[in-house]
Structures are given as C-alpha cells and as structure tokens.
Structure 1
Amino acid sequence: MQTPDTIQIPGLCGPLETIYLPVRGNAKGVAVINHPNPLQGGTNTNKVIQTAAKALNILGFHCYLPNLRGVGNSPGVHDYGRGETDDCTAVIDYACAQHPEAPKLVLAGFSFGGYVSLFAAAQRKPDMLLLIGPAVKMYTERAEPPLPDAASTLLIHGADDEVVPLKNALEWAAPLDLPTIVLPAASHFFHGKLIPLRDTVLRYAPLILDDDD
C-alpha cells in the first residue's frame, strides 16, 4: 500500500482538502469515502473510513477521502447533506477523470457520510455502494433517496451501535430486501472491531464487484 497524500480537489465552495491513497501497479477503479458528521468531530482522518480505504486500496482502488465543506481546510459551512452531496460528486468526477484506465467506481460512507453517499449514488450509480453504520432514518426533514441498486450495495452495521441504532438499518433495508452484515459487539465507531470491519470489506466487496482474484 502506498503512502497517502493530501491534495486539493475543486468544489463548488472551493478546494476540497482530500486524502488520496494511490494504488501500486494496475488499478481496478476509484473509491470515494465520506466521513461522519463534522458537528460531532467527523473528518477524513476518522479511523472507520481510514480502515475502509485501506481495505479498498488492497482490492485495487485509488482512494479519495475528502473533507467535505466546512471541515478541516475545506471552505464553506456544513449543509446537512445537501451541499456535501455536491462536494462528493465533484470528487467522484475528479477521481474518475484522473484514472480513465481504472473504470470501476466504489462510493462509500460512514454514518453521516453514508447518508451523503446515498444521495451521490443516486446521481453517479457506483459499481458498489459501501455503507458503514449509515445515518438512515435519522434526518426526518430530508429522507434518503431510493437505493439505486440493492445488489451492488454492501451494508455493514454494529450490533451495539449507540448513535445510529441497528433497528434503523434493518427497518430501512427490509423493504429493499437488502442483506445487512451485523458485526457482533461492535459500537458505532467500531472500537476494538476495526480489523473485523476491514476483513468484512475484504471478504464481501469482491463478490459485489465480480472480482475473480
């Protein structure tokens, strides 16, 4: 795995501070991974999205972890998922343009980042949508959009999530017939469970992406 760099990606509010983790050798695609709620301290250095990025990098994806508007050195103000969706799609478009030889797109997000990723997925249709403890059924003023494709979605949730209750994920997934992977004894931030989280992504993501290796 390569050493990550910090780059600036053009966004509607200005340059988005983004961690970029390149692939050594042939890449399969790009992955954009969104951080949890910045009002609760979420940034692109969060351990959960860092864990997801390392797993996706091992699987052959150039990983981009933006600080969405108002976070870190990214300008703008928190917009409760609306403007952040524009930020996410800007990073997706930039990443895809940088790596035309690596056509697959993974869109991922943890907690609030999962909520943002749902809106971005409705616009950009990723080959895989990875949702980790997504903040579904939490924002009543703006409900989540329809899921583009349940078959290309990997949903992972902690059994003991104290921020986004597991029942939220199950109730949201039920009408979609979307299987949910539940990590036993895992809290919202997967304290002590980051290795099982990584291994879960490494185990199941290739099945969705139709990888043979």
Structure 2
Amino acid sequence: MPGPAGRLEVAVDLPGGEVARVPVVAVVCHPLPTEGGTMHNKVVTMAARALRELGVATVRFNFRGTGASEGEFDSGDGERGDLRAVAEWVRGTRPDDQLWLAGFSFGAWVSLAMAAELQPSLLISIAPPAGRGWDFDAITAPTMPWLVVQGDADEIVDPQAVYHWLDGLKAEPELVRMPDTSHFFHRKLIDLRGAIKSGVRRHLPAAHG
C-alpha cells in the first residue's frame, strides 16, 4: 500500500472459519528494524495469532526500509507516519470496525506515540522500551483500554524502568508481569498468547451475525 516514504509491505490476516469474526481490525507494529525487527518477528506473529483466535482481523506491516517496504529507517519519526498511513487505510477499508493498535518493543513505542492522535479503541503494549532512548516523557497517557505485557527477566528493556514509567502516568493499564520471561519471550510465547487473549477478551464487541 502507499506510505509516506513509498510503498509499505502489508500482511492482512483474517480469523479462521471456525471463529466468529468481531468488527475489529488490529494493527500490530514490529520491533526495531536496525536490530532485525520485521513483521515476521515471533512475538508479533503470536500477538496477531492470539487476536485472530478471538475473531479479530489483523494487519502487520513492515516499517519503511524493512523487508519490501520502501524508504529508510527514520528513528521513529517517519515510522509514526507509516503507522498513520496504515491506520487510515484500515479505517477507510473497514469504516464500521474498531481499530486496535498493538506493538512490541520499538513497535510498542510507535503505537503509544500515535495513540492520542489515532484514538484506537484498545491499545496493547508488549515490552515497551522505556529507558531505551525513546521519548516516553512526551507520550500522552492513553485514555482507552490498555494492556501492557512485560517480562520480568527482560534483558533488553529494563522491567523496572517500565514499571516506574507506568507509575508516573495518569492512567491505569492492565499490567501483566510475566516471571522468568526474556525480551523475546523465549519458551513463553504460548503464555504471551494467553495473556493477550485474557487481557482483551472483555473489550471485544459482539460478533457479526
């Protein structure tokens, strides 16, 4: 699809036929491209899978300069524009569906930074990289339902920096702290799937039909 820096590579996945589809499209943002992050990252694909198992359609995309997406990495500024373009495309294509935003690591920061503008119906932040150089102080506290999943043994994002940042916000996210869990959720992906499904299930609108 067209993006602000050229074409963006997008993957749209619909729930399986055994699941009643709910009127929600979730856009899932991937981790840092300069560290090998893409829309095929296992945490990203597991998060999308968990949502599809609840009847949610999912959209994954590669930020500029990643995979087949054109352009160059822009340290988060241009990537916010990429997410804006994808979200606007989703809303134009599915105007009657809710828009949810999800992100892992760098993707969590991008989606958090755009939440005030895009006003998704729900926000999911997996290992948001507080204390890693991204400007978390400028993020407006989300006002929508918000699920945060953080591994207590994260070796890349300091869990205490995440908890300290959350404590300073005028918001009360649903926080899931996963013990003995590393940044990339090694051997914990099934647990991550369960945490996401449990955390968002009560916010699902009624299924179609």
TM-score by length of 1: 0.89
8 Å contact 1:170–1:180 — kept in the other structure?
no
Aligned pair partner of 1:131 in 117, 125, 131: 125
SS of equivalent to 1:48: helix
* Offset from partner CA, 1:171-207 (integer Å, 9 cap, x none): 1110224442111111000000000000111111123
Partner of residue 94, structure 2: 99
The 8 Å contact of residues 22 and 204 in structure 2, kept in 1 or not, is answered as: no
- Corresponding residue SS for 2:156: coil
Aligned twin of 1:6: none
Q: Which residue of 2 is the match for residue 165 of structure 1? A: 158
Find the counterpart in structure 1 of residue 177 from structure 2: 182
Structure 1: state its 5+ residue gaps. Answer: 1-8
> CA separation in 1, counterparts of 2:192 and 2:83?
23
**Partner AA of 2:65 in structure 1:** G
- Report the alpha carbon displacement of residue 100 of structure 1 after superposing the two structures with TM: 2.5
SS class of match (1:26):
coil
1:47 Cα deviation after fit: 0.3
Amino acid in structure 2 at the alignment position of 1:14: G
State the SS of the aligned residue for 1:33: strand
User: Is the 1:118–1:144 contact (alpha carbons within 8 Å) kept by the matching residues of 2?
Assistant: no
Secondary structure of residue in 1 paired with 2:168? helix
Residue number among 21, 33, 38 corresponding to 2:33 in the alignment: 38
5+ residue gaps, structure 2, are none
Which of 82, 85, 88 in structure 2 is aligned with 1:90?
85
* Counterpart Cα distance in 1 of 2:165 and 2:25: 27
State the distance in 1 between where 2:21 and 2:104 align. 27
Q: Tell me whether 28-37 or 14-23 shows the greater mean CA deviation.
A: 14-23
Distance in 2 (CA, whole Å) between partners of 1:27 and 1:66 is 21
Show CA shifts across 1:21-69 (max 9, x none).
1234533211000000011100000000100000111122211111000
Residue number in structure 2 paired with 1:201: 196
The reply to whether residue 61 of structure 1 matches residue 53 of structure 2 is: no
2:4 touches 2:81 (CA, 8 Å); kept in 1?
A: yes
Which residue of the partner structure matches residue 14 of structure 2?
22
Q: Are the counterparts in 2 of residues 115 and 144 from structure 1 also a CA contact under 8 Å?
A: no
> Normalising by structure 2, what TM-score?
0.90
Question: 1:206·1:212 contact (CA, 8 Å) conserved in 2?
Answer: no
Amino acid corresponding to residue 185 of structure 1 in structure 2: D
In structure 2, how many angstroms separate the alpha carbons of the residues matched to 1:13 and 1:45? 21
- Displacement of 1:211 in angstroms is 4.9
1:148 matched to 2:142? The reply is yes
- 1:204 and 1:142 map into 2 onto residues whose CA distance is 23
Alignment pair present for 1:111 and 2:125: no
Considering Cα pairs closer than 8 Å and 6+ residues apart, tell me whether 1 or 2 has the greater RCO.
Answer: 2
* Structure 1 residue 168 displacement after superposition: 1.4
Q: Give the RMSD, CA atoms, in angstroms.
A: 1.8
